[in-house]
């Protein structure tokens, strides 16, 4: 079983949710994000938001170089992608999520943090209500 579990959070299939356990690998990470991209593009033109739930008490970055994966993901955001909200997490996980900001202003504009799942859903609802532009402005 994968250390990252991906699925639809809502019946309307507008929010994807990835639950991370403590010991995931870069291969699982990249495979999960490939699935996120496939599911998001497949739902077009519907907006798809993403919740990343860090269920582990301590976040550990797996061995290996994260930059190729982060660079690749930041460059492949589908047009119908909404925002990404990380729930919970540690200082390390926040640093990891912020790494993508070095590669993409668009990714930076889409990244938010929340303490709880309810707070994440509130952030998504607020962004949808305000119709926040989630792509970089030239």
136 occurs within a structural domain: no
Provide the residue range defining the domain that includes 105: 4-130
Q: What is the pLDDT of residue 136?
A: 47
Closest to 50 measured CA to CA, from 111, 130, 137, 132: 111
> Domain total for the chain?
1
pLDDT in tens, 31-55: 898 999 999 999 999 999 999 998 7
What share of residues in the chain are helix, strand, coil (percent, to 5)?
Answer: 40, 20, 40
Q: What is the pLDDT of residue 88?
A: 80
Residue 48, domain CATH? 3.40.525
């Amino acid at each position: 079983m994968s250390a990252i579990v991906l699925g639809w959070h809502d019946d309307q299939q507008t929010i994807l949710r990835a639950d991370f356990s403590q010991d995931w690998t870069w291969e699982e990470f990249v495979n999960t994000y490939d699935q996120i991209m496939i599911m998001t593009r497949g739902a077009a033109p519907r907006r798809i938001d993403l919740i990343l739930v860090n269920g582990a008490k301590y976040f550990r970055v797996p061995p290996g170089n994260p930059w190729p994966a982060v660079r690749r993901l930041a460059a492949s955001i589908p047009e119908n992608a909404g925002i990404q909200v990380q729930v919970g997490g540690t200082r390390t996980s926040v640093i990891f999520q912020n790494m993508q900001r070095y590669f993409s202003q668009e990714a930076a504009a889409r990244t938010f943090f929340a303490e709880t799942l309810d707070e994440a859903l509130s952030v998504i609802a607020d962004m949808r209500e305000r119709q926040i532009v989630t792509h970089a402005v030239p």
